[in-house]
Amino acid sequence: SDAYNTGKEVPHYFATAGYKFFLDDQIAAIPSIMVKYVQPSPVSVDLNMKIAFKDKIWLGGSYRKDDSFSAMAGFNIGKMVNLTYSYDFTTSDLNTVSNGSHEIVLGLLLNNIYKVPSYIKMW
């Protein structure tokens, strides 16, 4: 049976990884990858790169093979809040009906009851 046509719940699997390379004391390069699998679709891989300045603002891009690329920008507001904007350019056959998409994300670092370092500015 086709899960998309029957309303059946389909598991979504995600794996992400990234690293922050300091180019100097004010600029960092932050590559990351996200692998996504949702049956019956093929595995999707996003390759991302951000350049951050003073841990305050950043610019970046993302590429998804045979599907899209994105331009991104964001800034951190203190230690608990960040705001991000991205625009996704569709490169697949879907581009005949899609002019791309906008995304705005407000990120919040909420109560860390375990006091484990988890800095919002990492990646």
- 69-86 tens-digit pLDDT: 999 999 998 878 899 999
Question: d(Cα 37, Cα 77) in Å, to the nearest integer?
Answer: 33
Domain boundaries, the chain: 3-108
Tokens of 50: 């951000």
Cα separation, 85 vs 64, in Å, equals 18
Q: Per residue in 1-31, pLDDT tens?
A: 455 566 788 899 999 999 999 999 999 999 9
Q: Are 106 and 120 in contact (CB under 8 A)?
A: no
pTM over 0.85: no
Other Cβ atoms less than 10 A from the Cβ of 77: the count is 12
pLDDT digits (tens, 9 = 90+) for 98-110: 888 999 999 987 7
Higher pLDDT, 112 or 43: 43
The amino acid at residue 61 is G
pLDDT at 120 over 70: no
Average pLDDT over residues 32-51: 94
